Each structure stands twice: as C-alpha cells, then as structure tokens.
Amino acid sequence: MRDWGNWISIISVFGLLSLSSDVISRWFSKYRLPLISGLLLTGMLIGPHILGVFKVEEVHQLTFLLDFSLAYIAFAAGSELYLKELRGNLNSIKWNTISQLSITFLLGGVGVYILSSFTPFLKEQSEIVKWIISMLFATIFVARSPSSAIAIISELRAKGPFTRLVMGVTVVADVLVVILFAIVFSLSKSLMSGESFNVLVAVQVFVEIVIAIIGGIAMGRFIAWVLSFSFSKYFKTAVILLSGLSVYILEQIVGHFIYKHWGLHIHLEPLLICIVAGFYVTNYTRHRPEFHRLLETNGPWIFVIFFTLTGASLSLDMLLKIWDIALLLFLLRLLTIAIASYVGGVIAKDPPLYKKVGWMPYVTQAGVGIGLAAEVAVAFPEWGDTFFTIVIGMIIISQVIGPVLFKKSLISVKEDHQKGKFKGHEGSKNVIIFGFEDQAILLARRFQSSGWKAVIATKMKREEIRSLEDVDIIHYDEINESSLSALKAGEADGVILFNSDENNLKLAELLYEKFGISDIVVRLQDWSYYDRFKGMGVRIVESVSALVNLIEHYVISPQTTALVLGEIEGKDSRDIEVRDRRLHGQLLRNLRLPSDVLILSVKRKGQVLITHGYTRLRIGDILTVVGSKKSLDHMALMLEES
C-alpha cells in the first residue's frame, strides 16, 4: 500500500523546488541562454546524483507528472496545426515536411547503424537491436519543437512567408513523427519479442493508429463539450489536464486487458491521441480561442514541472560517459536536416535564400522528443535508460545551438522585427510635433515611452531653444516643401500641430497635398478654421470642448477613459490598419488573437462597424483594439503587410 503521507510530501517539496527552478531559468535568459537550460540544470541539482534532495525511487514516484505534462505538450502541438493559417504555404509546407520526414529518417537510421561499429553503447548490441535502436534514434531525429519555435518567433516579432513555412513544417512534422514513432515502436516491440515481421504485424500497427485517431477525436469532442459550459477556467484546465493523464492510464489498462485475454501486444500512442484531440478542438469546434487561451495560460508552469523533473531523472554518471556519442549523433542529425531541407526546397521551388538557410530553424528539440525517448526507456529497460540519456544530451545541445541558428535564419530572410534603428527606442514609427512648448515636450516624452521616435520642429531661433537631453528639437526656417523634406516629413507616421491656426493650416495643406500624410492632429483655437481642416481629414482637438468631453466620460465611463489616457498599467488601446493581403476576407473569429486582446470596432471607408465573429476583414480596414502593449505590438505585426 502506498505511503500517502510520504507521497504527498514528495510532491509538495518538488512543487516548491520547481518554483526555484523557474527563478533560476529566468536568470539564464538574462544571458541569452534558453529557459529550458535553467530548468534542466535545477532538476539535475536536486536529483539523486548531485544534491540528492530526491532519491531515484522518489523521482520514479513523480513520473505521473511527466505523463500529464506530455499530454499538455501534445494538446498544444495539435492546437498549433490550424489549417486556415497554413493554406497560403501548403505546397512548400507539403514538400518540406515530406523531405524532412523521409530523408531525415532514412539517412539518420542508416547513419546511426554505420556509427554503431564505433560507439561502445551500440557496438555491444546484437544486429537486430542495432537496427531497432537506429530506427528509434532516426525517429527522434525527425522530432521538432513547436514551443521553442513559437518562443523565438515571438521574441523577434518575426512575420512573413518563411516564418509561416517554418511554423507549418515544425507543427506538421511533430504530428507525423508521433505516427511514425507509433509504427517504429510497435515494430521494435514485435522484433524484440522474437516475432518475425509479417502482414499481421503491419495490420496491427495500422489498427493501433486508427484507434488512436478515433480516440483523439472522441477526446476532442469531450473537451469541446466541457468548454461549452460556463465553468471556471480552473475547472476547465483541470479537466483538460486530467483528460490527458487518463489517456496514459487507459492505454496501460487496455493494453494489459487485451494481452491477458487475447495475447496481443497493443500499444495506443498517448501522444498521438492528445495531438489529434488538440487538432480537432482547434479546427472543428467553435472553442478554439478559449482552448488556445487555456493552453497558453498554463504552459509556463507545465514546462517548469516537465523540464525540472526531466533534469532530476537524468543519470548524470551515464551522461558524462556518453556525451561524445550525444554530440556525434547531434552532428549526424544536423547533416540529415540540412540535406532534407535543401531537397525539400528544390522540389517546392522555394527561393534560393530559403534553400540556403532553411535547415536552421529545425535544429531545436524539446518536449515531444523527450516524451518519445521516455517511452523507449520504459519499454526497453535493458538499454532504454542509456538511449534516453543520449537523447537528452542531444536535446541539451540543440537547445543551446538551435535558437541561435533559428534567429540567424530569420534575420537572413529579413523577417525579424527587432528593436528599430532609433537610438533608445523600440520599433520604427515616427511622429513630428510642430511647435515648441511644454505640452509638446510632454507629448514627445509620452510617445517615446510608447516606443515611437518623436521630434519637435520649431521656427524659433536656435539660441532661443532650451536644450533637452531626452527630446530631439529641430529648427526649420520656412513653411515650404523643401523645409518639410529636410525634416523627413514624408517618413512620418503622424504629425501634430501646435502652432497658430494660420501656420497649422499651411503645414496641413503641404503635408496633405505634397506628402500624402493622413494622420495629422491639430490643436484648434479659432473655429473659423474648422471646416478647412476637416476637409483634409485632419483630426481636430479644441481645448475647451476636449476638457468638457473628458470630464463627462470620466463620470459616464471611468474605466474606458482611464484606458484611453493610459492610466491603467500595462493596458492600452490602438488603431491598426490591415495590410496583410492574406487576411482579406478572413472572419474575425478565425484570427489567432492574443488572449488578452479585444477588437472594439472596424473602420472601413470612413464608416465605423461594430464587430462580431463573422465580420470579414478587408485590406485598409482600421481595427480599434484594446489589450496589453506587448499583445498590441503582436497584433500590429500580424495585421501589417508581410
């Protein structure tokens, strides 16, 4: 009988140490090292081989945490396979995926077998075991890391056809590798048990895959049914995680039952079931946004648990012995990926640059690879632990080198949107403020705090202008086209006019007629100028009426007013124009919005539309959105022209 008190104590201590692991991993990120490295290192420290906080048998008691963590990772992988987003790159995704799957697997398997004569771990095995291990290693070679890819793309704010291609191949390959693993795993178990390969074995593998897919659809329908109720997000999260854990439990129960009554070894791949479930909810139910939001919200602590426990499970003494094998197999995998990427690019007729750097994004591995290796370790105890440790060594190397290569590829194809060239500012948006006064200075500072490049332009003589360390002030002589060209007015994303009405009108006319600037805001003093400004589409602010409206809305709608004025910490509102032609005709409900973003309205040809899920986007639409500043930046990147 299980000692429940001791078991609960182990879980509690591990939970507390996982929090420390999260803190350590964030320290790693300050030095541009992957978060996973910090999590694995902390797990190693608290494991049996260094500090000994947990003994080997205590770590084994926590393996159920690996099961539901892997189920979550599989749900997340399936949810990333969103068909509506992949349609524009289907041909390239298809051929690159086929190439990555077939060439990496075949060359990897043959390569590992050839190297078996030079590696002590493989050299001592029988011929049949060498081929089994070679096939299993080759399968792991194919595994990618959608979670790592998403993290890097988000970090660089990357967007474009190459980014979509990489993400599509990464996700599709991770789905197919689980099916490939199910086939190889079943064949390996049959061969290890002494059975010769025959038609019945192939039929059994096919039946196992079909049953797993049907089971995944059934689970997807169950999750969608739970999401249809107005339960709390915590209850729904618990149901999703327990559903994933139940797959591992049922797989063992069903497998034992079938073997006991019919003598058949049936293996229903839990990862495949969960991936299919995530894919079903994402593509065939109306609960995709909520499902994705729940997975996104709970991802960080799931990964903390998973990678910390993985680190604690490592046999460090064995890792030190086989690190050279891990490095050798990593280099072999790198070679197969490069060849597969080039061949896929040639068949898909990708641009030359894609063929040159196309292998770089696929180096990183993480959750799925570890999960598959863990199943091998359990199924083949004679050599499974060594296999698992070698895979972990490969993954650690890939987590150090892979992100660097991925970033380099995105920069090479110019799809990264990192910090702009403006010194000390984020992004590349410019605003020119005409008129030197306290309000202009305050406004310039507010723009700069939001990541804009703000300059103040004035006709005041240079000796009359007091210098400011944090705001650029530029002198111009006359209101004419040449002066505005010198100010680079044509590159401005917005212009604000604080001069006299007469001078403001001259500036507005030049900006409108000569430079095509549409985003002009003027502070109006004399209402006789109103119609002339309005005729050019200039936005007008009149101090008295603006103050009255502000006070009125503070009383009627205080939260909205505070949001507009930027008084709610971390939240903001923004107008974003739709420029990406792939989004033309898309329903709002099909957009992959950040979980904390809300679309308030759509402005189309001067008319404001109140939005709903079935509103179709058009090129040139201006969306008014509310959310965190980080998510609004993500939205702007998603909607702009790729």
Report the percentage of the chain scoring pLDDT > 90: 6
Residue 225 — very low, low, confident or very high, per pLDDT cuts 50/70/90? very high
With a cut of 80, say whether residue 204 has pLDDT above it.
Answer: no
pLDDT at 24 over 70: no
Say yes or no to pLDDT of 426 above 50.
Answer: no
Question: Which residues of the chain form CATH 1.20.1530.20?
Answer: 4-412
Phi, psi of 219 (to 5 degrees): -65, -40
pLDDT of 323 over the 50 cut: yes
DSSP β-bridge partners for residue 521: 496, 539
Closest by CA to 279, choosing from 428, 486, 427, 75, is 75
Angle between helices 270-284 and 63-80 (to 10 degrees): 40
Mean pLDDT check: name the lowest of 207-216, 280-289, 420-429, 447-456.
Answer: 420-429
Cα(132)–Cα(197) distance, rounded to whole angstroms?
A: 13
Mean pLDDT on 620-627 = 84
- Better-scored residue on pLDDT, 493 or 23: 493
- Lowest mean per-residue pLDDT among 161-170, 180-189, 295-304: 295-304
* pLDDT at 14 (0 to 100): 63
- pLDDT tens per residue across span 330-347: 999 999 999 999 999 899
Express each pLDDT in 271-315 by its tens digit: 788 888 988 998 898 888 888 888 877 777 777 777 777 777 777
Give domain 430-546's CATH superfamily: NAD(P)-binding Rossmann-like Domain (3.40.50.720)
Range scoring the smallest mean pLDDT among 338-342, 386-390, 634-638: 634-638
Look at residue 106 in the predicted model and tell me its pLDDT: 92
With a cut of 70, say whether residue 506 has pLDDT above it: yes
DSSP 467: P
Note the pLDDT of residue 358: 87
Q: What is the mean pLDDT of residues 422-443?
A: 69
pLDDT value for 368: 73
Across residues 628-642, what is the average pLDDT? Answer: 75
309 near 607, Cβ under 8 Å? no
More confident of the two residues 328 and 80 = 328
161 vs 339 pLDDT, higher one:
339
Cα–Cα nearest to 412, from 362, 364, 365, 358: 358
For residue 65, what pLDDT is reported? 79
Query: Is pLDDT at 129 greater than 80 in this prediction?
Result: yes
Q: What mean pLDDT value characterizes the chain?
A: 78
Token output for 502 = 């007469």
SS3 603: strand
Tens-place pLDDT, residues 226-239: 998 888 888 888 88
**Cα torsion 183, 188, 390, 21: sign:** positive
Given this model, what pLDDT does residue 183 score?
82
State the angle between helix axes of 288-313 and 4-29 in degrees (0 to 180), rounded to the nearest 10: 100
Give me the helices (H) in 349-451, please: 352-357, 367-379, 384-412, 438-449
* Confidence at residue 159, expressed as pLDDT on a 0 to 100 scale: 72
Under the banding of pLDDT at 50, 70 and 90, the label for residue 553 is low
In the chain, pLDDT over 70 holds for what percent of residues? 83
> CB within 8 A of 13, min separation 6: which ones?
53, 54
Question: What is the CB neighbour count within 10 angstroms for residue 274?
Answer: 30
- Whether residue 375 is predicted with pLDDT greater than 70 in this model: the reply is yes
Over residues 182-199, the mean pLDDT reads 71
**Could you give the C-alpha distances from 4 to 1, 61, 111, 245, 305, in angstroms and in order?**
9, 11, 48, 20, 21
Residue 635 contacts by C-beta under 8 Å, 6 or more apart in sequence? 574, 576, 593, 594, 597, 623, 625, 627
Q: What is the pLDDT of residues 565-600, one digit of tens each?
A: 666 666 777 788 888 877 888 888 777 777 778 887
Residue 565 has what pLDDT? 65
In CATH, what class is 569-639? alpha beta
Query: Across-strand partners of 522?
Result: 497, 540
Task: Grade residue 427 by pLDDT with cuts at 50, 70 and 90.
Answer: very low
- b/e map of 355-384 (b: 16 or more CB within 10 Å)? bbbbbbbbbbbbbbbbbbbbbbbeebeebb
166 vs 191, residue with greater confidence: 166
Q: What is the pLDDT of residues 209-218, one digit of tens each?
A: 788 888 889 9
Cα-based distances in Å from 384 to 134, 182, 228, 329, 632: 13, 17, 42, 16, 47
Location of each CATH 3.40.50.720 domain in the chain: 430-546
Predicted local confidence at residue 536, as pLDDT: 73
Band (pLDDT 50/70/90 cuts) for residue 60 is confident
Binning pLDDT at 50, 70 and 90, where does residue 417 land? Answer: low
3-state secondary structure (DSSP) of residue 92: helix
Q: How far is it, in rounded angstroms, from Cα 158 to Cα 636?
A: 12
Question: Comparing 140-154, 170-184, 187-201, 372-386, which segment has the lowest mean pLDDT?
Answer: 187-201
Confidence category of residue 1, pLDDT binned at 50, 70, 90: very low
**For residue 142, is pLDDT > 70?**
yes
When comparing pLDDT for 620 and 267, which is higher?
620
Domain ranges in the chain with CATH number 3.30.70.1450 = 569-639
Q: Is the pLDDT score of 3 beyond 70? A: no
The fold of the 4-412 domain, in CATH, is Na+/H+ antiporter like fold (1.20.1530)
